[in-house]
Structure 1
């Protein structure tokens, strides 16, 4: 896929925003993200979807019961699987700051076989890749996840993966880039 020369969505003009759009944007800016980088200016063309999605996203990013490192690792795997340029660009520095090793991130980005130093990283990677590759998770991987994280956090991990797949799809379909993004982590 090559980005088209014409934007796929009309430019969003905050001065012309509906009350529903203004409410969504205000909530996003006042929340833990504090910015509109990512899919939000795409979703804003459907303010009800934007509101539901951004609230789900805030939960999936900050309240799953997983550490920030593990959440960001799962997001990087998702971004790589979808080759979501902006998703990777936004989350890569967050993941490194949260403790994901740079070498591991690069292995995930390029599709190389990852080498893990941390058992939780290996478990989240196995769970995520089994779900994406086979559309299921094996009994053994599921049992390991529940034993390590519990049922609630395992459910939340599935939600996080679903949410970030939605983000990736949005970014890819509408050919969105992150603020300030001048390089692409994946070939197009």
Structure 2
């Protein structure tokens, strides 16, 4: 059972309303919609509703998320594989639901999705395999020197930095979803 009640748009404070509009009118809402940002009553779904508890922190988080989703050096498919590995690691149903839809739109098939859920990255090659192995190591707490050398050489230090931010951001969302018992 959810630990907080959904924030209905009509009951939002000015700060909450500004954040709500940034989320629903920002890059997540533009282009193809692979998952619904809002529930039928207009409240935000998933972690975004909890962002409204602290609009200043929530806004900072949503900006980080938008940067990770839309402004990194990661190829789109590799980014979604990384997000799905974080979701699998933390057992985050909302992250999985949302990003499976995006991954499918990028050509990730059922066999690959099942492998990601098991954290098996052997089906992937090239950059996707390296990104996936890097994410798994980051979820374990660090990159050893060998993987750091390979990742920084092949992906670049900027993308390795972006992957650390991705793992941290989606791990934060998974924690918030779990703590606030967001089931959808």
| Partner SS, residue 9 of structure 1 | coil
Q: 8 Å contact 1:87–1:168 — kept in the other structure?
A: yes
Q: Scaled by the length of structure 2, what TM-score is found? A: 0.87
Q: 8 Å contact 2:87–2:93 — kept in the other structure?
A: yes
Counterparts of 2:116 and 2:145, CA distance in 1:
24
Q: 8 Å contact 1:104–1:115 — kept in the other structure?
A: no
Counterparts of 1:127 and 1:149, CA distance in 2:
10
Q: 8 Å contact 1:64–1:157 — kept in the other structure?
A: no
Cα drift, residue 160 of structure 1: 1.0
Give the CA RMSD over aligned residues. 1.5
Is residue 31 of structure 1 aligned with residue 37 of structure 2? no
Partner of 2:5: 10
Partner of 1:65: 73
Partner of 1:183: none
Partner of 1:161: 167
Q: Which one of the candidate residues 54, 58, 62 is aligned to 1:46? A: 54
Partner of 1:74: 82
Question: Could you report, residue by residue, the CA deviation over 1:89-108 in whole angstroms, capped at 9, with x for unpaired residues?
Answer: 11011112223332121012
Q: Scaled by the length of structure 1, what TM-score is found? A: 0.85
Partner of 2:103: 95
Is residue 143 of structure 1 aligned with residue 149 of structure 2? yes
Counterparts of 1:149 and 1:71, CA distance in 2:
13
Partner of 2:138: 131
**How many residue pairs were aligned?**
171
Pairwise mapping of residues 170-185 of structure 1 onto structure 2 (< 5 A)? Answer: 170-178=176-184
Q: 8 Å contact 1:69–1:95 — kept in the other structure?
A: yes
Unaligned runs of 5+ in 1: 179-188
Runs of 4+ in 1 over 3 A off after TM superposition: none
Counterparts of 1:129 and 1:15, CA distance in 2:
42
| Partner SS, residue 32 of structure 1 | coil
Counterparts of 2:129 and 2:152, CA distance in 1:
14
